[in-house]
Amino acid sequence: MRIQLARSILAGFVLVAAACRSVPRENSAAYDHCDSLMRPSQVCSADGVVTVQAIDDRRVLVAIDIQDGRRPDGFVDHLFLYTAEEPNAFQAKSEPFSGHIEYGQDALRVVGKDGRQPLLFLVRQEGAERVISFDTGTERRFDRSIGLSHYWGWHGLRVVRLTALRASASCDGPPGACVEVDGIRIRFPA
């Protein structure tokens, strides 16, 4: 019991620490080295191996293993967690694919290198105007949103293990808001 509690606390600490820091990277075509404090008009992008996974009818996980001019290392470099206001019919549990992401304040655009899987996740803040325009008109839009979280800088989660995600038995959010794999608990915006 104490070991399980210690693991849960450690996993929570790792997740919080990952959300609060960025790992410095060399500038390359695969990653544009955005800073951790994004300005409202700043758009960041990355190329690599992308995974898109519908967790349930309201939650979608997007992960990328960045190339950085080298081969991907198999670990998640950026993790985006999206929660919709209402159920949608999105059912993706895709195999990882070579792709490109663009992200900014409350927005994420995903597209495969071959043009497949064009997705656009938007979170509208009440009273705020969108400073960045990602919309090209070809993406499947998700804009009736509760939230979009972005985590980076952690090195414990392998891309191949994302298929083993399961609902977490303990969660401080609404039912279904937490998933876990290999002792790492991940909480979606609620």
**Residue 52: which pLDDT band, with cuts at 50, 70 and 90?**
very high
Above 50 in pLDDT, residue 62? Answer: yes
The mean-pLDDT minimum among 43-57, 148-162, 175-189 falls in 148-162
Helices and strands of the chain, counted as H and E runs = 1, 11
Q: Name residue, tokens 């915006």.
A: 189
Strands 119-122 and 140-142: parallel
Return the bridge partners of 75, or none.
158
Distance between CA 101 and CA 134 in Å, rounded? Answer: 11
Whole-model pTM: value is: 0.76
Max CA-CA distance within the chain?
Answer: 52
How confident is the model over 74-97, as a mean pLDDT?
Answer: 88
Return the bridge partners of 66, or none.
48
**Residue 8: which pLDDT band, with cuts at 50, 70 and 90?**
very low
Which of 64-73, 79-88, 119-128 shows the highest mean pLDDT? 79-88
